[in-house]
Structure 1
Amino acid sequence: MRNFSDKEVSDEVIKEIIRAGTYAPTAVNKQPWRFVVIKNKQLIEEYDKRAKKAFLAAYKDTENPELSKFVQFLSKPATRIFYEAPVLILLFASPDVINEHDCSLAAENMMLAAQSLGIGSCWIGLAEGLGYDMEFLKEVGVPEGHKLIAPLIFGYPAKQNLKAPARNADVILKWIN
């Protein structure tokens, strides 16, 4: 989901989405996920710009054609990687994490829960650079040693009844009975 309405997402709904994330499977029940919730539109806009800047600095000289497309996309001043979403939730792994995949599972649970509540979401991988911005981490109150795993945006869809894109049916490598 990359096109959101102006409708506010209530704190109660956000807490429900996060609660769903905390029910993800976790190695030895470590529950390593920690969340930062940002609803301030001005801050989301500022962090959008900072994330773009970090990505461009990291990949400006890339020779990878796929990454070059992202560099071109992000070089446009009008590009917004958080798509003006009303909610940004940053999912971090705590320092004692055994398996960072636990946090990815929590993110997926959150996205599925949001969908069931009529809320759209998107995992913004282009924002991973914020996890290396020490000033940003300090600003949002993330203790040392935590790692940004999933920058997620949430909001009510601008359009209703959107269908999922078609999926490739030929994905099974081998079926062994």
Structure 2
Amino acid sequence: MNKFTKSFGAFVFFISFLAMGNLQAQTTMEEFATKWNHGKQFTIDVLNAMPDSGMDYKTDPEAMSFKEQIHHIGSAIVGISQGLLKGGEASAPQIDVATASKEELAAFLEEAYEYGKSAIVGLSEADRAEVINAFGNELTRRQVIAMLDDHCTHHRGAAIAYLRANGVTPPAFVGF
């Protein structure tokens, strides 16, 4: 076998391997809902780990407080689900972060995650594949769902850093 044939064969194998990996990386809506539920519980666990005395803690005067980080997760789920993922207006949860207790904030997170999950799993495959204008970009709703999940993780990670800055050991990650 000549060098070209070997190289071409290796290239085809590599591309096939990548394609198989991409196909296997996709999740079903049932798998996504399970992951989403774990994210919801992890976020609530992070909230519950912060003592009441740390709820207004900020890493910097310009930063969101711990309470605002947590609220931002829930309000983004609701807003993005309503505006981009065909969520209904009537059932969308709301809360005033300025006056909310930790218990009320936990209940809001529970409702926000459930609202988001309902909107996401309620989308048809055609809806998920539809290209829409989101944040000035042309994206599929599937990409918006992935971005929303990443957004929740980002702000939960910031909240975990706030826990550590307050001497609190964060809850263990549960991904499955």
Report the TM range for the smaller structure's normalisation. under 0.3
User: What is the TM-score with the length of structure 1 in the denominator?
Assistant: 0.24
User: What is the TM-score with the length of structure 2 in the denominator?
Assistant: 0.24
